[in-house]
Amino acid sequence: MAIFKIIVLLLSLSCFCQAQLSPTFYDQICPNALSTIRSSIRTAISRERRMAASLIRLHFHDCFVNGCDASVMLVATPTMESERDSVANFQSARGFEVIDEAKSAVESVCPGVVSCADIIAVAARDASEYVGGPRYAVKVGRRDSTTAFRAIADSGDLPSFRASLDDLSDLFLRKGLNTRDLVALSGAHTLGQATCVTFKERLYDNSSDIDAGFSSTRKRRCPANGGDTNLAPLDQVTPNSFDNNYYRNLMQKKGLLASDQVLFGSGASTDSIVSEYSRNPSRCDITN
């Protein structure tokens, strides 16, 4: 089972928090916190399978902007711009209502105890498990931000679907993550969907980095004129399962986003990492 990507994704990002975190943080003050969150998240994903990918992405977008502090949940006010309205999140970030539902459920058993930041982190883990990924301990004890950071979100802290390999590498390096981390984290795109506007130009520019048959299939969903909001799975083989087909797709020039395909085919160091993970996903182990 390809379990490595989500482990790196969640645990690497969670280290951005400065608090002293522990898997047992709520054991005494709210012993039913994690089970309550899990039940709420499973209900949400059972209603819509795609929500698993959305919750994992929401956690990533929260953590990459000023740490895992739930600042992405804050709505705009007259004195504060919201991260939700940033270029990378506007009309694409999803799952806010699921986190709100989980928060309400936890509040009913432990009022004023569990942070939204912890709920987002735990929700991503529970979402991973629901679609075939691992279940593992999440360190909790975060506190929620009272301020959003849209300017940071718009300044390049969140990867663009058009980003080059150099841009991605520089961005991850600023977060203390290396090239191997970049490839592992990108593997979260084994789940979810993307709107045509994020990849359509690749289909029609006669690019050599995309398989012709794959491109032809995607054109049916994404016509040259129109259809920008139509959706296509990031992994057309197993779009709702957590596995390592993402890497196999890249090796076949079937990466949907330009920022995915740049990880393989250029002769850069990421080529060998993608190849390695396509054969043996367990090679990516944060304990090594």
Q: How is 45-103 classified by DSSP, letter by letter?
A: HHH-TTHHHHHHHHHHHHHTTTSSSSGGGPPPBTTB--GGGSTTTTTT---HHHHHHHH
Rounded-to-integer distance, Cα 147 and Cα 282, Å? 38
Identify the pLDDT of residue 33: 97
Of 57, 59, 61, 142, which is the active-site residue?
A: 61
- Per-residue pLDDT of 178-231, as tens digits, reads 999 899 889 999 999 999 999 999 999 877 899 999 999 999 999 999 999 999
Tell whether residue 159 is among the known ligand binding residues. Answer: yes
| Ordered mean pLDDT values, 10 residues apiece, the chain (288 residues) | 44 53 95 97 97 95 93 96 95 96 98 97 94 85 95 92 95 91 91 95 87 94 94 92 92 96 93 91 46
Identify the pLDDT of residue 283: 53
Instruction: For residue 252, give both structure tokens.
Output: 């076949």
Tell whether residue 62 is among the known ligand binding residues. Answer: yes
Tell whether residue 205 is among the known ligand binding residues. Answer: no
Tell whether residue 235 is among the known ligand binding residues. Answer: yes
User: Does residue 59 carry a catalytic annotation?
Assistant: no
**What domains appear along the chain, each with residue ranges and CATH number?**
32-155 (1.10.520.10), 165-279 (1.10.420.10)
Rounded-to-integer distance, Cα 262 and Cα 253, Å? 10
CA distances to 14, 93, 173 from 246, in Å: 23, 21, 22
Instruction: For residue 143, give both structure tokens.
Output: 């506190």
Its pTM stands at 0.90
Identify the pLDDT of residue 282: 59
Tell whether residue 97 is among the known ligand binding residues. Answer: no
